[in-house]
Amino acid sequence: MSKKNQNLFETECNEAIIFARVSSEKQEKGASIDAQKECIYEYCKSKGLKIIKEYIITESTMRGDRKQYKEMIDFIKGRKQKTAIVVNCVDRLQRSYSDTPILDDMRKKGKIEIHFMKECLILSNHSTGMDILFWNMCVLMANSYVLSLSDNVRRSLEYNWAKGKWQGLAPLGYLNTRDNKGNAHIIIDEERAPIIKRMFEEYATGLHSAQSLLTFATHLGLTARTFGNTNRHPHPLNYNTVYEILRNPFYYGVMKVKGKLIPHIYDKIIDKKLYDRVQLILEAKSIDREFLAKQQKYKTRKFAFRSIIRCGKCNHFMSPDCKIKKNKMSYVYFRCYNNCGQPSANSKTLLNQLDNEVFSKFYISDDDFIDISKSVINHNKHSHYIKQEILIKFLILIRDLSYIMKEANAGMQNEILTILLKDCSLNGKTLSYNLRSPFDKLLVSQLSDWKDIIINNIKDLDAIEYNIKALNLVERK
Ligand SMILES: [Zn+2]
């Protein structure tokens, strides 16, 4: 702000022009020119304002109306001092937003103050956002569209919407309440709002259907609201509720009123970026579910058993699902979304089963490892059947399997399980599977036979060569 402007900003305002408007046909009581003028004179006196000019408009002459209004603006612009415009009420000065920008610009520059007597509102360059909001709301009320509404309730709705207030039942994740003055208010539902947020975040991963998201939310403890003894039926939680939640912009700060989005005054639960991402996924899902499923499979988060376990009942692939328990820990479950009755299984439990039955059984002492490796690598040197790099990785994988699986992240676990397992299905909480060759033969053989088994089945490593090559193995400490 320049020094020159600052001076203008701080100029005291002690000169006023008055602006009055009256309908020539309806000289309603208290609205006549004389009555209006009298009120304004008294007001200016009480505020210490000297009246320097009067603009009186008779409504029937529309052309004269605009002409005088423009004259007034030009008059103010031509003055060096700050000028107060004093009017009886907002609808005397302006009936539409079109006049607002010019008036607001002059206000911000400290050229004018506007005194709305009836509304007890003085607008100056010091006005707060609430004052400006109130002014805009009054202009909305003065707008002929609103005035033409005879219904008081409707007017009150417009009034509240303009102030960013929601009417009626708050969306799930919020609660209707009353502030200390007894006015209706909406606050965050501390119990449900975090779950609503998690639902958006989970859905944004692209892994969920509405049904799986509902399961997720229900596990987190999301319930419908009950409304005490009122007759209102709580909205049952079903996948339609999920869609309602995911499509409601209220959570990021705007409310939908008659097809329009209006910013509301309540706390937000999510940001717009997350909301927009969810809308994209909702749209993509409705366009092509199958396409998205393929996309997800390759692009999203990794899970140990993803694309590995089939349902023992219906043969569908089982899908990952995350659960947050009371201790805030996240658990991965695999479930069948085919509604076949197959119970879900904890990923960790399945890994423990495999560790007991497979991983830990492959243990080799360092001496045996060196002995076996020497023979196998030497044999391969002559046959050139497989790259030495692959063979060494394969040997280290066997030696450290239990350790590697415990240390690995889900993506690596998934790669190793792909190398080890085939025909993997879940029956109840137990995994049924076959091991790929040569792991299957090694598991049931004496250590002394391992050299021969590996050498004789070395061609089987061909099928999993790329998987082994991709492994980023960390040697046992
Ligand atoms: Zn199934």
pLDDT at 34 over 80: no
Given a contact cutoff of 8 angstroms between Cβ atoms, the answer to whether 19 and 86 are in contact is yes
**Selection from 284-288, 327-331, 382-386, 455-459 with the highest mean pLDDT:** 455-459
Instruction: Tell me the average pLDDT across 306-312.
Output: 89
Tally of CB atoms within 10 A around 225: 17
Measured in Å, residue 336 CA sits from the centre of ligand 1 at: 5
pLDDT at 207 over 70: yes
Nearest to 357 by CA among 304, 430, 460: 430
- pLDDT given at position 239: 77
Measured in Å, residue 308 CA sits from the centre of ligand 1 at: 14
Domain boundaries, the chain: 3-151, 193-294, 299-346, 354-470
The DSSP output letter for 345 is E
How far, in Å, CA of 225 to CA of 245, rounded?
14
Tally of CB atoms within 10 A around 120: 7
pLDDT at 439 over 50: yes
pLDDT at 128 over 50: yes
- pLDDT given at position 17: 94
pLDDT at 224 over 60: yes
How far, in Å, CA of 178 to CA of 145, rounded?
31
Given a contact cutoff of 8 angstroms between Cβ atoms, the answer to whether 454 and 379 are in contact is no
Paired with 311 in beta bridges are 426
The residues near 267 (Cβ < 8 Å, ≥ 6 apart) are: 187, 188
Measured in Å, residue 344 CA sits from the centre of ligand 1 at: 10
- pLDDT given at position 147: 45
- pLDDT given at position 29: 44
Given a contact cutoff of 8 angstroms between Cβ atoms, the answer to whether 414 and 303 are in contact is yes
pLDDT at 334 over 70: yes
Measured in Å, residue 243 CA sits from the centre of ligand 1 at: 25
Measured in Å, residue 313 CA sits from the centre of ligand 1 at: 5
- What is the H or E stretch that residue 142 is in? helix 129-142
The DSSP annotation for 173-189 comes to TEEEEE-TTS-EEEEE-
pLDDT at 272 over 90: yes
Measured in Å, residue 312 CA sits from the centre of ligand 1 at: 7
Q: Read off the pLDDT band of 296 (50, 70, 90).
A: low
* Burial class for 342, CB neighbours closer than 10 Å (0-12, 13-18, 19+): buried
- pLDDT given at position 143: 59
How far, in Å, CA of 405 to CA of 309, rounded?
17
Lowest mean pLDDT among 118-127, 163-172, 298-307: 298-307
- What is the H or E stretch that residue 310 is in? strand 310-311
How far, in Å, CA of 380 to CA of 392, rounded?
11
Given a contact cutoff of 8 angstroms between Cβ atoms, the answer to whether 262 and 277 are in contact is no
Measured in Å, residue 239 CA sits from the centre of ligand 1 at: 20
The 10 Å CB-count burial string (b at 16+, else e) for 381-415 is eeeeebeeebbbbbbbbbbbbbbbbeebebebbbb
Average pLDDT of every residue of the chain:
80
Measured in Å, residue 379 CA sits from the centre of ligand 1 at: 46
How far, in Å, CA of 404 to CA of 327, rounded?
27
pLDDT at 136 over 90: no
Tokens of 272: 């717009």
**Does the CA dihedral 276-280-285-289 come out positive or negative?**
negative
- pLDDT given at position 348: 92
Q: Tokens 């911000």, residue?
A: 108
Measured in Å, residue 426 CA sits from the centre of ligand 1 at: 9
Q: What percentage of the chain exceeds 70 in pLDDT?
A: 82
Q: Which residue has the higher pLDDT, 45 or 470?
A: 45
Given a contact cutoff of 8 angstroms between Cβ atoms, the answer to whether 81 and 15 are in contact is yes
Lowest mean pLDDT among 153-157, 285-289, 389-393: 285-289
CA distances from 137 to 114, 201, 411 (A): 15, 36, 56
pLDDT at 126 over 60: yes
Measured in Å, residue 244 CA sits from the centre of ligand 1 at: 28
Write down the architecture of domain 3-151 according to CATH: 3-Layer(aba) Sandwich (3.40)
Cα angle 301-305-306, degrees, rounded to a multiple of 5: 45
- pLDDT given at position 432: 95
Q: DSSP H helical segments within 288-365, as ranges?
A: 289-299, 347-357
The DSSP annotation for 143-155 comes to SHHHHT---HHHH
Q: Which residue has the higher pLDDT, 193 or 165?
A: 193
What's the half-sphere exposure (Cβ side, CA atoms, 13 Å) at 282?
A: 17
Instruction: Tell me the average pLDDT across 111-116.
Output: 93
The DSSP annotation for 215-229 comes to HHHHHHT------TT
Q: Read off the pLDDT band of 408 (50, 70, 90).
A: confident
Instruction: Tell me the average pLDDT across 415-420.
Output: 91
How far, in Å, CA of 443 to CA of 22, rounded?
100
Tell me the pTM.
0.40
**Does the CA dihedral 141-147-152-158 come out positive or negative?**
negative
Measured in Å, residue 217 CA sits from the centre of ligand 1 at: 21
- pLDDT given at position 142: 65
Lowest mean pLDDT among 92-106, 221-235, 421-435: 221-235
Tokens of 286: 């409705």
Instruction: Tell me the average pLDDT across 2-26.
Output: 65
Q: Which residue has the higher pLDDT, 52 or 282?
A: 52
Instruction: Tell me the average pLDDT across 437-463.
Output: 90
pLDDT at 26 over 60: no
Q: Read off the pLDDT band of 372 (50, 70, 90).
A: confident
The DSSP annotation for 29-70 comes to TTTSHHHHHHHHHHHHHHHTPEEEEEEEEETT-HHHHHHHHH
Measured in Å, residue 208 CA sits from the centre of ligand 1 at: 17
Instruction: Tell me the average pLDDT across 53-79.
Output: 78
Fold classification of 193-294 (topology level): Hect, E3 ligase catalytic domain fold (3.90.1750)
Measured in Å, residue 49 CA sits from the centre of ligand 1 at: 83
Measured in Å, residue 58 CA sits from the centre of ligand 1 at: 79
Measured in Å, residue 297 CA sits from the centre of ligand 1 at: 19
CA distances from 123 to 39, 107, 283, 300 (A): 19, 7, 46, 54
Instruction: Tell me the average pLDDT across 1-10.
Output: 44
Q: Read off the pLDDT band of 436 (50, 70, 90).
A: very high
Measured in Å, residue 429 CA sits from the centre of ligand 1 at: 13
Measured in Å, residue 305 CA sits from the centre of ligand 1 at: 15
Instruction: Tell me the average pLDDT across 100-121.
Output: 89
The 10 Å CB-count burial string (b at 16+, else e) for 282-295 is eeebeeeeeebeee
